[in-house]
Amino acid sequence: MQHEPVDPRTEDLGFARVDVDRAARTGDAEVVYGAGKSPDQIVAILTTLHERHPDRAVLATRLTDEAMHAVAGIGAEVDLVARAATLGPLPTPAGTVGIVSAGTSDAPVAAEAALTARVHGAEVHEIRDVGVAGLHRLLGVRDDLERADCLVVVAGMEGALPSVVGGLVGVPMVAVPTSVGYGASFGGLAALLAMLNSCAPGVTVVNIDNGYGAGVFAARVARRVGVLRKP
Amino acid sequence: MQHEPVDPRTEDLGFARVDVDRAARTGDAEVVYGAGKSPDQIVAILTTLHERHPDRAVLATRLTDEAMHAVAGIGAEVDLVARAATLGPLPTPAGTVGIVSAGTSDAPVAAEAALTARVHGAEVHEIRDVGVAGLHRLLGVRDDLERADCLVVVAGMEGALPSVVGGLVGVPMVAVPTSVGYGASFGGLAALLAMLNSCAPGVTVVNIDNGYGAGVFAARVARRVGVLRKP
Amino acid sequence: MQHEPVDPRTEDLGFARVDVDRAARTGDAEVVYGAGKSPDQIVAILTTLHERHPDRAVLATRLTDEAMHAVAGIGAEVDLVARAATLGPLPTPAGTVGIVSAGTSDAPVAAEAALTARVHGAEVHEIRDVGVAGLHRLLGVRDDLERADCLVVVAGMEGALPSVVGGLVGVPMVAVPTSVGYGASFGGLAALLAMLNSCAPGVTVVNIDNGYGAGVFAARVARRVGVLRKP
Amino acid sequence: MQHEPVDPRTEDLGFARVDVDRAARTGDAEVVYGAGKSPDQIVAILTTLHERHPDRAVLATRLTDEAMHAVAGIGAEVDLVARAATLGPLPTPAGTVGIVSAGTSDAPVAAEAALTARVHGAEVHEIRDVGVAGLHRLLGVRDDLERADCLVVVAGMEGALPSVVGGLVGVPMVAVPTSVGYGASFGGLAALLAMLNSCAPGVTVVNIDNGYGAGVFAARVARRVGVLRKP
Amino acid sequence: MQHEPVDPRTEDLGFARVDVDRAARTGDAEVVYGAGKSPDQIVAILTTLHERHPDRAVLATRLTDEAMHAVAGIGAEVDLVARAATLGPLPTPAGTVGIVSAGTSDAPVAAEAALTARVHGAEVHEIRDVGVAGLHRLLGVRDDLERADCLVVVAGMEGALPSVVGGLVGVPMVAVPTSVGYGASFGGLAALLAMLNSCAPGVTVVNIDNGYGAGVFAARVARRVGVLRKP
Amino acid sequence: MQHEPVDPRTEDLGFARVDVDRAARTGDAEVVYGAGKSPDQIVAILTTLHERHPDRAVLATRLTDEAMHAVAGIGAEVDLVARAATLGPLPTPAGTVGIVSAGTSDAPVAAEAALTARVHGAEVHEIRDVGVAGLHRLLGVRDDLERADCLVVVAGMEGALPSVVGGLVGVPMVAVPTSVGYGASFGGLAALLAMLNSCAPGVTVVNIDNGYGAGVFAARVARRVGVLRKP
Amino acid sequence: MQHEPVDPRTEDLGFARVDVDRAARTGDAEVVYGAGKSPDQIVAILTTLHERHPDRAVLATRLTDEAMHAVAGIGAEVDLVARAATLGPLPTPAGTVGIVSAGTSDAPVAAEAALTARVHGAEVHEIRDVGVAGLHRLLGVRDDLERADCLVVVAGMEGALPSVVGGLVGVPMVAVPTSVGYGASFGGLAALLAMLNSCAPGVTVVNIDNGYGAGVFAARVARRVGVLRKP
Amino acid sequence: MQHEPVDPRTEDLGFARVDVDRAARTGDAEVVYGAGKSPDQIVAILTTLHERHPDRAVLATRLTDEAMHAVAGIGAEVDLVARAATLGPLPTPAGTVGIVSAGTSDAPVAAEAALTARVHGAEVHEIRDVGVAGLHRLLGVRDDLERADCLVVVAGMEGALPSVVGGLVGVPMVAVPTSVGYGASFGGLAALLAMLNSCAPGVTVVNIDNGYGAGVFAARVARRVGVLRKP
């Protein structure tokens, strides 16, 4: 009863019709969002996308332990902290993304942002454990912040870090609220609202725990600059 | 149909039964919450409380322009920024409350906290315009912060200031979220949640725009210390 | 009782201590947020900032009719749709910001973003009335979208426009939810949540009606690219 | 202690009094909502309803793996994706319901809507994987959309699909928000609010993940048209 | 700086680009949403749309007293209860929409739905004051409910009416929550949630106070049936 | 186009169909909810209901100053604090309702509950200004609380009074949250949630500011007891 | 370090200080809230309370399977549907509580209310499966409803049942929202808000799933009436 | 790719960079927040901090059973109720913190506050089971309350205890809402809102279940007083 036209831009795997043309359309890498998919499904989609794009890395995020094991079995590079993996060679980086995180609990989201930015063609510089309750650490890395082409700032709880970083440097910044916290953090809502209300101008925000979205955005910004600057 | 027992601890003004005994019970000053009361009612309650306590200031808060005018007419000292007034002599101060605020829009709440703390027997030191997006100002007043017996930190928007101050000094601190902001600030909710989730330990919070509550609390803390330190 | 150190980076106007050094620190223009300030206060701050920075435009936003009239009186250029004004010469633009809006009710927010981006050194290309319920208009401007260095997408109600634009082009994009709507729009919350959950990767979001923040961010991105591309 | 009158329109199973008369009253099929019921209870209710209505299919939804196994054992037709089953012959269809879904994660809700619509007497045409971030797929099926007597549009995350479809065709449409998403999706709330605020006129909405309700509604609309059109 | 292509499907009024082609695309009437527009703007848009579609009524909703006066001045038919107006002849009706409302406070929303349905080509039958707390009224009009091709059920406060009506008849139904209520009604949220959770199958919902959306939808459903039945 | 059957239990006033039969059905008094109605409409409905029930008082609530003036003109008894009025003789009371309130700001809601209870046939005993922050007042009236057949406890802000009263006596109690408060009171939501979560068993709750509903309920309970106890 | 005075009204079990005097103070039965307590703790508290009150039943609610097994072992009467138990003889009932529930999923809450009412001295009449989508069942039991001294009405989803029952009879009524539902039911919030906004006067509400609280309240009302009516 | 400067104030454990200098900066004890950390990680951080500060206790909170077992293995003192542990000698206490709790379910939060206050140098006096529904217990300990230098008041459900205590004594007080409750308690939100809206002046609040934060704050206040008072 289903007669949709055959479209060369998609491939039908039975359980999903994969859009194998997104790279051409937006210049970004292909990605498999692993949450809610079985390891077998992830392996199948990853393989399909890799065959269509053998020369550039395909990304898989939100992987369970089983899925990380399964994709390692087909040669994917696994990042245990980010719970993500890549299949295929990373592109030559252009432009630098600085990824700043507040606490050790924010590490998985920061790592997802970092890997995503690398897959999307940017160099990544990670700056960790610079929470607002210990300003000396943050002031000590101000020059590093200044050197980035785009910053990703990851924080849970009260989500104050983007405001403080935004008062120090004028680099374009994406803030990522994390679900780290309890009680009136309401699963990251407190940090999300704080970041949306930042008194520092030019702070933009993505969804709670969305390291992937921040990484894509930051890489897009950094790449444009990096490519022009190259030599 | 109403036969409640006559209670020497209260006085009946017709429209309200005033508790004239709270000072004895808690050691605090008497206060009239002006919101929703007519200038005449405020003047009447203020006068009653002042007659019972002629030797210590009575406080009136949340006053309209009309109410400020009316209480000035009976000799009250009016604070135009705080929209509050006092009738009777301020107590000799003991202990110091530091009141830190982020932006000029937070001034009315900070001023209400300051006047309240003074009425409740503390010396007040005000530190203004030290928002988190301009850390150099804040770092420049660190010694002032350290010297206070209790801090009141007032901030709207993302409410990040208490976390930053709490990372600098170990002085007991009350955070006051203000309704300054728009959109996803939701009338101060964003700042309130941020403060409740502060990563700096030992931050306590009062209701949105509740400078009065913060002032009472901070004065109670400072007074205890100041009285012992005095001689 | 207030002995804060004199700081050459700030200027005290009595009712506010103005940060006249932000430009040096972040490279951005100075700005006066007009909401809650009297026309006289706005004129005073604008004048102070202009005197310190006579060679580059100072921006004033969220102006009432009275404030727009007052700042016009001191020679400021007023934008009636944006309810904003500039004093001093606009910088030579570098890089292009595309500003896309859905409906006529979103025009004030789009205009605030446009003027802010110009004040912050970017060229601006405005694309109006391209709501998702009329795709033909949107598809007709795809090349214009592609040419921008950064996009600002402004939409109220269901906030679907950023997702659709994000599926067409890979340009870095900032989404601005507006408070246009009624009932279960909850003052722009529906659009804000929709944008935070966009299925298009690389969409970042600012506060409801925050055209200013989006303009600052987009100009920062566009400028970096534009400066390198120039010669 | 319970003496309720015996009612021929209901049947008492001990743990539930089944309304066996709803079909006569509203013209719809009988249904068992499986969530929170044991496989035994579901089998019992399904059997009772089937005996009363042997000539038309009875529907069971929200089935666990165990319940699907149990009802298969009494001859029910099981739909693994929809997690639903039917017992008895499907009616001859009249009128067409088009069911449009955005992503593979929305498949279970779309399948529940499809099976429900079939049980309620409509022909169903499914159109999958037409998310707003890939407009070319959607524009390619415009004629299919136009041919339906009623559309069911299923989407999670930002819930933008109904607005885009509603801008293309004037067919009556029911939007179904799904709980697909994370963080600020708040279990489907973001998609629900977006759909309620759709700028496309004539979009109506059902509860989050309520494929059943949408299927009933769409079949009622399609049947009325289909029956008249027949010949 | 704006060079959008000239599009015959739109007309530029300076302050708005009017989509004069929607009727052809979706078969619906043109509409002006009056909220936030000046009487002059409303008159201008109404005139433009009327000139393009002289043979079918154009609708204007959410009109202020001033706007109702202004559009009456150009010959529009004004509905004072609905706060809406039409310019041009109403279409010959096909199919019947039943509009059921609970209380007198819901009258404006019911009237907006009724006028909208008429403008979109349906006959309208209004049934008023049939709240759930007085079932005898509701049971008395059951046959009228049964005769409609589509029902619009309007209710504020606890929003229970759609569930009760949905238990009586199997006619397709759109529920409209209204903002009638106070306190924990939260501006219509209570009624909205109740309707989304209706235990009666096949109830669909539109935004709070959205009589227009319900009217468009119901007319689309009724028209399809009515046209076929005609003879 | 409207042909609803003539029903002797209702009377049509043009702008409203009045249910003149509710008294027979539930034993309660007739009431006009004045919010959103013009003084003329209120007078008309009040007159109609009074003519049908000349021997028992009809109640009008939520009256503006103009409406209170208007109904006084037709001989109604006006309660300025409750913003309510009665027309016709109050019934002979049976049973006692105790109405306890916390602060002077809660007086209007308490007065609405008191008048409503009297209109519905109960004797009323009011106990005012017994907030939880002054327990001595509350403990002083414990015997009065004990003597009531049903208690109505009215409180805003943190809504703690019902829990404290519920720990003192076992009399059936209805709690009424009021919208008194600011900031995180969210228009009475804080008090409402507190009352719903009371640790004292047997506390029931009505909507925010709903003195009327509490009065009806309490009178129903008190009347049943009072009538039996009478002779 | 703990030297609280020994109080004959309490008994210290090490892990809890049990209030063995509540019965004397409020006239109610003693109760153990089982959630979060181990079976051993529940048995210990139940035993202590039973020894102090051997002549009247003690109640335990919210019991796990293990806890139900454990208390059965010490001779308690277990109600499997209510997940509750009693130890000691039930009092002779006075007055009747009618407990009305909408669906089979609401049975546990209705059963908790029923058992609680019996323990608190009332006779209970249960009326099940009378949802608003099947009015004929409800109309058939109207006389039963009328005969009760107090009604408890239990409903989940849209929570409409109390409004409909409240329109039929004038008996005092307590509404209990249940967490039955999904999606936008938000764990019972939809039903709670609906009940608080009921258009039927005299409906009071308790917390979500709080059958215990409703049972206590209803028994208090019924007992007062029943005791007087008895002889 | 990471070249952050080596900072003597931090120590790098591979999975976390520990701030070993906080004690010097704020005068507080070091703490390990155990939630989300493995027993091995907790042991490692605890050991590192203890080696740097052998002369004062280090605190670990939010421990799982496994973590409590693991830290006991390295000689830490474990508090089973608080689910917390200390390593190293407690400081000599100065000043007294009174910790008041309402029910046995609040015990873990109260115990966390107590242990934290002790680790931070205060003497602790615990007062348990003094809920507002049993005022006699509370009135019996009024002198104990008065003697404390700072009070921590812990309560779930309706969160009324701080208001009642605040009406009895004028001691500085921190209120801790707990997540004890169900339904409309919304995980402690009801208690949190109640405490923020307390009518007793000078009540400050921390996050839901945040016994640690309250303990730090109260110890800071008590210590300042205690040190001065000593001899």
User: Nearest CA to F17 among E137, H163, C44?
Assistant: E137
pLDDT tens readout for residues E203-221:
999 999 999 999 999 999 9
Q: Which of A102-106, C62-66, E80-84, F193-197 has the lowest mean pLDDT?
A: A102-106
Predicted local distance difference test score (pLDDT) of residue D229:
83
- Is residue E10 over pLDDT 80? no
* Residue B208 touches chain A, beta carbons under 8 Å: no
Name all chains with 3 or more CB-CB pairs below 8 Å to chain C: A, B, D, E
Judged by CB atoms closer than 8 Å, whether chains meet at D179 and G183 is answered as yes
Residue G105, chain D, CB below 8 Å: the answer is yes
User: Closest-CA residue in chain C for D157?
Assistant: C197
H213 has a chain B CB within 8 A of its CB? yes
The mean per-residue pLDDT over the stretch B144-166 comes to 95
Model pLDDT, residue C81: 95
| Mean pLDDT, range G208-222, rounded to an integer | 96
State the average pLDDT for chain G: 89
| Contact exists between E and H (3 or more beta carbon pairs < 8 Å) | no
Chain E residue at shortest CA distance from G162:
E133
B3 has a pLDDT exceeding 60: no
Please give the pLDDT value at position G6. Answer: 45
Give chain E's mean pLDDT.
89
Nearest to C155 by CA among C143, C163, C144: C163
Question: What does the pLDDT read at residue G229?
Answer: 84
* Interchain CB distance below 8 Å, F19 and E134: yes
Q: Which of E132, E178, E207 should one mutate to test binding to chain G, selecting the residue with the greatest count of G CBs within 10 A?
A: E132
Asked if B74 contacts B46 with a C-beta cutoff of 8 angstroms, the reply is yes
Closest residue in chain B to residue H28, using alpha carbons only: B170
- G216/F201 CB distance under 8 A: yes
Dihedral of CA atoms C52, C53, C54, C58 in degrees, nearest 10, equals -120
Give mean pLDDT, residues G6-34: 67
Confidence class for position F11, pLDDT limits 50, 70, 90:
low
- For the segment D146-196, what is each residue's pLDDT rounded down to a tens digit? 999 999 999 999 999 999 999 899 999 999 999 999 999 999 999 999 999
Question: Would you state the pLDDT for residue B15?
Answer: 63
Strand partners, F205: F175, G205
Which one of B62, B179, B221 would you mutate to disrupt binding with H, by most H Cβ within 10 Å of its Cβ?
B221
**Residue partners of F222: CB distance under 8 A and separation at least 6:** F94, F95, F96, F97, F117, F122, F123, F148, F149, F150
Whether F207 and E137 lie within 8 Å, measured CB to CB: no
pLDDT in tens, E93-151: 999 999 999 888 899 999 999 999 999 999 999 999 888 877 888 889 999 999 999 99
Element (H, E) at E146: helix E142-147
Q: Do G206 and F196 touch (CB under 8 A)?
A: yes
pLDDT tens per residue, range C93-136: 999 999 999 888 899 999 999 999 999 999 999 999 888 877 88
List the single residue in H with minimal CA-CA distance to F195: H158
**Per-residue pLDDT at H92 exceeds 80:** yes
The DSSP 8-state label assigned to residue C189 in this structure reads H
pLDDT for A13 equals 67
In what helix (H) or strand (E) does residue H142 lie, and over which residues does it extend?
Answer: helix H142-147
Q: Is the minimum CB–CB distance between G181 and chain H shorter than 8 Å?
A: no
- pLDDT at res. D28: 80
Cα–Cα distance for residue pair E151/E112, rounded to 1 Å: 14
Q: Note whether A105 contacts H: Cβ–Cβ < 8 A.
A: yes
What residues of B are in contact with residue A145 (Cβ under 8 Å)? none
If you write DSSP's letter for every residue of D98-167 in order, what string do you get? EEEESSGGGHHHHHHHHHHHHHTT-EEEEE----TT-HHHHHHTHHHHHH-SEEEEEE-TT--HHHHHHH
Comparing B8 with B98, which gets the higher pLDDT? B98
Q: Do chain B and C touch: 3 or more Cβ pairs under 8 angstroms?
A: yes
CB neighbourhood size of F86 (10 A): 24
- C189 interfaces chain E, CB cutoff of 8 Å: no
Q: Is B202 on the interface with H (CB under 8 A)?
A: yes
What pLDDT is recorded for position B63? 97
Quick one: average pLDDT of F84-106? 94
Share of chain D above pLDDT 70, in %: 87
The phi-psi region of residue F123 (left if phi > 0; otherwise alpha if psi is between -120 and 50; otherwise beta) is beta
pLDDT at B104: 82
Residue F14 is classified by DSSP as S
> pTM for the whole thing?
0.93
H171 backbone φψ class: left, alpha, beta (φ>0; ψ -120 to 50): beta
Edge-first strand listing for the sheet containing D58-61: D31-33, D58-61, D84-87, D77-79
Q: Is G105 helix (H, G, I), strand (E, B) or coil?
A: helix
Q: Is D224 on the interface with E (CB under 8 A)?
A: yes
Q: What is the dihedral of CA C168, C172, C178, C181, to 10 degrees?
A: 20
* More confident: H28 or H173: H173
Chain A residues whose beta carbon lies within 8 Å of the beta carbon of residue H35: 182
pLDDT digits (tens, 9 = 90+) for A6-39: 455 566 666 665 666 666 666 688 899 999 899 9
Q: Give the Cβ contact number of residue G231 at 10 Å.
A: 4
Q: What is the predicted pLDDT for the residue at D14?
A: 61
Complex-level ipTM: 0.91
D207/E201 touch (CB, cutoff 8 Å), yes or no: no
Any idea which of A8-22, A174-188, G47-61, H52-66 has the lowest mean pLDDT?
A: A8-22
F201 touches chain G (CB under 8 A): yes
Per-residue pLDDT at A134 exceeds 90: no
Q: Do D128 and A189 touch (CB under 8 A)?
A: no
Q: What is the pLDDT of residues G96-105, one digit of tens each?
A: 999 999 888 8
Q: Say whether B140 and C7 touch across the interface (CB within 8 A).
A: yes
Highest averaged pLDDT of the listed ranges A100-104, G130-134, G208-212, H198-202: G208-212
- Candidates B115, B144, B182, B209: best to mutate against C (most CBs of C within 10 A) is B182
Is residue F143 within 8 angstroms of chain B, CB to CB? Answer: no
- Report the percent of chain D where pLDDT is more than 90: 72
Q: What is the mean pLDDT of chain B?
A: 89
